[in-house]
Amino acid sequence: MICSKCGAEIRDDARICVKCGTPVSGSKGVGEKENHYPGLKNEDFADLQKEAPKAKPRELAMLAVLVALVLIGIGLLVWRFTREEAPPPPPPKPKVVKKVRGVIDQAALQKFMKEHKPEAVACYADALKKKPKLMGTVEIKLKVDTKGKVISPQLSKNIEDAPDVGQCVLKKLSAWQFPAAKNAPVSLLQSFTFTPDDVKALPGAKKGKKRRKSRKRKGKK
């Protein structure tokens, strides 16, 4: 092969002339692809490479999005068939309402009932005048609030031969001011057992006996 510039003889596979440095026509430059087609000239092969279609960036982006969507769909299917179903939430616990129990001073209650018993005995004394052998028990259910007031008194037991006794005791007890309960109202069951000796123990009855004795003594004198 002869150099087109200086006329020196160069090798067939040389890219430049070793004498003048001129590039040899038909040799591939830097970045050019090698011609693997013997029947095709280098110039025609270079033009063919330029005309070859190249993938556009928009097409590449669409392809990447499509691949991503396919991968996401596969991942969702795998997650759906492999996930464990979460157990249902436990039912809410019922609210526990603590009941506040009321209390009452038992010593004060006993003292109170002892002081007010003569009022109940007075109801029995009226019936005893009509029936000298009358005896029996009266029971009353009631509640006492935190101020000592009687709430909802009810007659639970009465003297059969003298029902007026229970009604009389119930009426008087409803007006009594009991010792106050603490924290909450207190339920009570008050029992009254009556005998003729209870009437004899009344203050009025004792005075009557003393007067009779004093009269007898005056008569003897």
| 24 falls within a domain | yes
The one-letter amino acid code at 201 reads A
| Confidence label for 195 from pLDDT (cuts 50, 70 and 90) | very high
| 86 falls within a domain | no
Helix axes 106-130, 163-174, angle to 10 degrees: 140
Top pLDDT among 168 and 21 is at 168
| Confidence label for 209 from pLDDT (cuts 50, 70 and 90) | very low
| 96 falls within a domain | no
43-51, long-range: CB < 8 A, 24+ apart: none
Contact call for residues 173 and 112 (beta carbons, < 8 A): no
In sequence order, what are the residues at sequence separation of 6 or more whose Cβ sits closer than 8 angstroms to the Cβ of residue 100? Answer: 183, 184
- State the pLDDT at residue 114: 93
| 58 falls within a domain | no
| Confidence label for 166 from pLDDT (cuts 50, 70 and 90) | very high
For residue 156, give its domain range. Answer: 106-208
How confident is the prediction for the chain on average, in pLDDT? 80
Residue 83 DSSP class: S
Contact call for residues 181 and 144 (beta carbons, < 8 A): yes
| 13 falls within a domain | yes
132 and 47 both lie in a single domain: no
- State the pLDDT at residue 77: 80
The whole-model pTM stands at 0.50
When divided into structural domains, the chain yields a total of 2
> pLDDT (tens digit, 9 = 90+) per residue, 111-152?
999 999 999 999 999 999 999 999 999 999 999 999 999 999
* Weakest-pLDDT range from 43-52, 103-112, 129-138: 43-52
Other C-beta atoms within 10 Å of 125: how many? Answer: 19
45 and 117 both lie in a single domain: no
| 213 falls within a domain | no
SS3 24: coil
CATH number at residue 121: 3.30.2420.10
48 and 140 both lie in a single domain: no
pLDDT (mean) for 162-166: 94
46 and 136 both lie in a single domain: no
Asked whether residue 221 carries a pLDDT value surpassing 70, the answer given is no
120 and 187 both lie in a single domain: yes
| 193 falls within a domain | yes
